Amino acid sequence: MAPEKIKNQKATTSGYKLISFVLIGIALIALIVASTRHFIFSKTPFTIAVSLIKSGKSASALPILEDLSIHHPENANIFPWLAVGYLNCERIAEGRIALDTALRMGLPPSEVTDAVNAYADFYEHREDFEEAEKLLTSANSNCPTLQLNESRARLYLKWGESELENNNIEEAVTHLEKANSLNNFVQEPLSSVIPRRLAETYKQLAALSEADKDDSKAILCLEKSLKVLDDSSNRMYLAQIYAQVNQTQKAIENYQIVADADINNLEARHRLIDLLIQSGNYSQAQEALGDLIDKEKSVENYEQLVEVSLQLKNYARAVHTLEDACELGVKADLLKQLLTVLNDWAAALTRDQKSEEAASVKGHAERVAEQLNEVLLEEAKNEDKLADKNDKFASAKDLPVALISSHIWLSAGSLTPEGEIKIKNITGKPVHDLTLTAVFYDHNLGHNNGTVILPVVTPTSVPFSAGSSRTLYFSCPNTVRSEHRLAVKLFWNGYFLKEFPVAK
């Protein structure tokens, strides 16, 4: 029994060794074949020519590829590289023949895409956009959708830009629309550039249409621009044209969208309020004015809110509004308005047989009348000084700038208020010297908490061109108390312009 067991063990060992030798042999043969194949392929004329093109030596590669194309015309892989080589050597006609041959032979997309894009770029740089379009269109069925669609989008963008340079706005729109239709296949940053340029071009076309008295076309262009990119300036422009053609409700809707999206866009708020009043929507105008005053405290805004409140017979709101306006600086005109409103309110209450309320309002009116007399006496004492100042600043038309937007804030945990205002040159001509002053005023303490000089333009700087806008940034030079009631008062040459509350 033992000898038989030993014999079986020897047989098993011999078989194992035989299998091992066979496997090792197979592995060596595979390694030799792979090495030989690599050596052969790395040294073929084709791979040598490809290497030469990649290293910028297309002139040396062309004879090799031309010889291969003659002796091996069935090898489709030759032709894309032959086309690129011809392109690099500026032999375009021969290159296009090679490229067209490659496309007809049905090569895999990965083999032909780079050659197609190279020729498309060449035509684009020559501004031969039509030829580039023909090439990309014909090659579309042979190349990967993503790569060629991105190339086509880039082509149409460049084509549109070229038309814009030549003031061909309609043609530019056509090409940019084609680029935008391919935007889902495009990567960043191109996918952001295309809709922005299309929206800008729609706006240019709208301006031309408006100049030609074609408001309907202008509206259509701006509506299209907003579908592409919801831009506040384009929406403001659209609202403006709607107002011009008496489509007041649509103008209101667009101004409202802008105001809701940007709480600091004061221009949108002002225009919205004007249209609400014009359309008789006093309740909404009253609400909008309340929101505006939270951002921009000015006598003009308060007076407009008073007018709206009186239209609604809301005497209480009108009185409170005038009293708030007086906090900006008591003036006789404001007190006169307040006195008139109080007297009208008392008369209305008397007609409604509300004697107690009427008596209370009359008492308030008497106190205002006394305050008005004191102010008039004080003004009389300073009549000469006030006359000089009024001669210099008699009308708002003297002002060189208009305030477009503002944002004054105090960040959480900070004791230093900051501000940002945007102004527009409304003189109709370049301004060469302009300085504003921002005064941080604490209403709790009743005094100045810091002054900042804001140089807009100096005689030695670039002029502030007519109709252009600039943004000014500033911060309070002093810290403030947490329980402050701070505001920023803006002055020009000592003339009060606006007051803004500091938002906490």
pLDDT for 477 beyond 80:
no
Q: Identify the weakest region by mean pLDDT among 187-196, 398-407, 442-451, 465-474.
A: 442-451
For residues 300 and 482, which has the higher predicted lDDT (pLDDT)?
300
> Which amino acid is located at 317 in the chain?
R
> Residue 473: is its pLDDT beyond 50?
yes
- At residue 214, the pLDDT reads 94
pLDDT value of residue 278:
93
Q: Is the pTM of this model over 0.75?
A: no
Predicted confidence at residue 330, as pLDDT, reads 63
pLDDT tens per residue across span 204-248:
999 999 999 999 999 999 999 999 999 999 999 999 999 999 999
State the Cα–Cα distance between residues 363 and 346, nearest whole angstrom: 10
Q: Which of 178-182, 276-280, 391-395 has the lowest mean pLDDT?
A: 391-395
Instruction: Pick 286 or 397 by higher pLDDT.
Output: 286
Cβ-count burial 2-36 (b if 16+ within 10 Å, e if not): eeeeeeeeeeeeeeeeeeeeeeeeeeeeeeeeeee
Mean pLDDT of 435-464: 81
pLDDT at 390 over 90: no
Inform me whether the pLDDT recorded for 115 exceeds 60: yes
CATH 3.20.20.150 is the classification of domain 45-197: no
- 395-501 and 45-197 share a CATH fold: no
pLDDT of residue 69: 87
2 pLDDT higher than 50: no
- Rounded Cα gap, residues 241 and 223, in angstroms: 11
Taking residues 410-417, report their average pLDDT.
Answer: 67
Diameter of the chain measured on Cα atoms: 141
The token pair at 49 is 């020519």
Query: At residue 4, does pLDDT exceed 70?
Result: no
Please give the CATH superfamily to which domain 395-501 belongs: Immunoglobulins (2.60.40.10)
CB atoms within 10 A of CB 489: 19
Task: Map 212-230 to HEC letters.
Answer: CCCHHHHHHHHHHHHHHCC
| Axis-axis angle for helices 232-244, 248-261 (nearest 10) | 160
Share of the chain above pLDDT 70, in %: 83
> Residue 463, Cβ neighbours under 10 Å: how many?
16
Give the mean model confidence (pLDDT) for residues 46-59.
89
pLDDT band per the 50, 70, 90 thresholds, residue 314: very high
Quickly tell me which residue has 């044209």 as its tokens. 241
Domain extents in the chain: 45-197, 395-501
- pLDDT category, 499, cuts 50, 70, 90? confident
Highest mean pLDDT among 391-395, 404-408, 467-471: 467-471
CA distances from 59 to 52, 87, 96, 456, 495 (A): 9, 10, 17, 60, 76
d(CA 159, CA 180): 13
Average pLDDT over residues 378-406: 58
Answer with the residue of higher pLDDT: 382 or 387.
382
Q: Tens of pLDDT along 24-49?
A: 767 666 665 454 444 344 579 989 98
Q: Cis peptide leading into 3, omega within 30 of 0? A: no
- Give the three-class secondary structure for 246: coil
Distance CA 358, CA 343 (A): 9
**What is the Cα 133 distance to its own chain's centre?**
30
What percentage of the chain exceeds 90 in pLDDT? Answer: 37
Find the mean pLDDT for residues 121-134.
Answer: 89
| Residue 62: pLDDT over 70 | yes
